[in-house]
Amino acid sequence: MAAVFSPLRRNHCLAILLFLLVCLGCNRPKVVMPGTGIIPIKAWIVLGPSAGEVIGSDNNRGCRLTQTELNAFRAQLIANRKSFSPSMIITWSLADQQVINDPSIPVFGQRQTELAVFVQNVQQFNWDNDFLNIYFCGNVEVNSNHVWGATCDPQCSSNRPYIIINDGGWESGSGHNSPIWRLTFRHEFAHYLLRRNSVPPYDGGEHVPNLSANILTPDVPRVMVVPSSEQIEITTRVRNGTWNLP
């Protein structure tokens, strides 16, 4: 007994234990699991093709949002998570942010690219299975139309779900409408969590008419309420882990 618990042996055991704990800590556990209520987010900051682009530059052909604006996106989503589901946890740290470049944006002229091209050139190569992937972009258009943001439905069988948020500068503007873009982000997040098309009582586009007390109004969502009926649905999906599945 005395030999087993000698100081040397004890320290040896402790060292091994500590070593094991450090090794386990280095491998981020997969958190996308049913029943956890946890939604981990990975933010991709999509810059233009030129070497000189950095986060927050007004001259970027890609995303122009500053780090302060991105932090505000993060803070607001996390602070308002309970409005989506009482049991939801969002994890999103600076370590979960990565800068990438989109070669399909022209370096001069109209600052624009198409979603199909963005997915082909950028999104399919920059994706993390363990996370909800959010792409902060400049002006990714859908069939040549502007969108504030877009949520890809998981029923696209060849793609994982993701959200795109444009910076609001469109082809030529400044791109710092961040207070409203944070509202857009929450609107898209609601689409992502709800994940339905043509499900009554909403119209086929998942949006509800303006002036409805619902986060899914299509014009700038002044009303940021997630109604209780939808909160219940979101809570169920998050708990069952079905919110990211068809």
Partner 1 sequence: MSRFTLFLFVFVTLGKPMTAWGEPFQDIKRLRELADRVRITPPELQEARQILDKLSRITSRGDRAVISTLFEIVESGKCKIIGPLALPVLCEKADPKAAQQIVQMVAREVRLLREVGSVTKKDRTNVPSVPLISPFIDQGASQIVAILEDVRPLFDLLVEFMACDRIMFRADLPQKAERLIATSDVDLAIRKEYALKLIKSFPTHFAPDRFEWLFGPEDIPTLRKLVRAPNNTPATFCWGAADILAHLGDEGAIPDVRAFILAHPIGHAPPEEAAKLYAFRITLQHPTTKLLDFIRGGVWNGWSRVWAMERALDYKIDKAKIRGAILEHAKKHVDDHPNLRFELYKLKQRAIELGVLQPNDLPDVKAPPKRQITP
x/- mask, partner 1, residues 121-140, rule CB under 8 A, reads x-------------------
Structure-token match 């087993």, residue found: 4
List the one residue from 78, 117, 128, 239 that touches partner 1 (CB under 8 A). 117
Give 17's Cβ-side CA count (13 Å radius). Answer: 6
Residue-by-residue DSSP string for 127-172: --TTSEEEEEES-EEBTTB--SEEEE-TTSTTS--EEEEE-S-TTT
Q: Which of 82, 98, 173, 232 binds partner 1 (CB under 8 A)?
A: 173
Q: Is 182 in the site for partner 1 (CB under 8 A)?
A: no
**Residue 180 binding partner 1, by CB under 8 A:** yes
* Residue 246 interacting with partner 1 (CB under 8 A): no
For 97, 108, 128, the CA distances from 41, given in Å and listed in that order, are 9, 32, 10
Q: Which is nearer to partner 1, 61 or 186 (CB)?
A: 61
17 φ, ψ (degrees, to nearest 5): -60, -45
Asked if 215 interacts with partner 1 (CB under 8 A), we say no
* Alpha-carbon gap, residue 59 to 105, rounded angstroms: 13
Shortest distance in whole angstroms from residue 86 CB to partner 1? 23
Distance CA 70, CA 231 (A): 26
With binding defined as CB under 8 A, does residue 189 bind partner 1? no
**Of 26-34, 37-45, 66-74, 110-118, which segment contacts partner 1 by CB under 8 A?**
110-118
CA dihedral 30, 34, 35, 37 (to 10 degrees): 70
* Residues contributing to the site for partner 1 (CB under 8 A): 48, 50-53, 57, 59-61, 103-104, 106-111, 114-117, 119-121, 142, 144-153, 155-156, 158-159, 166, 168, 170-173, 177, 179-180, 188, 191, 197, 200-203, 205-206, 209-213, 218-220, 222
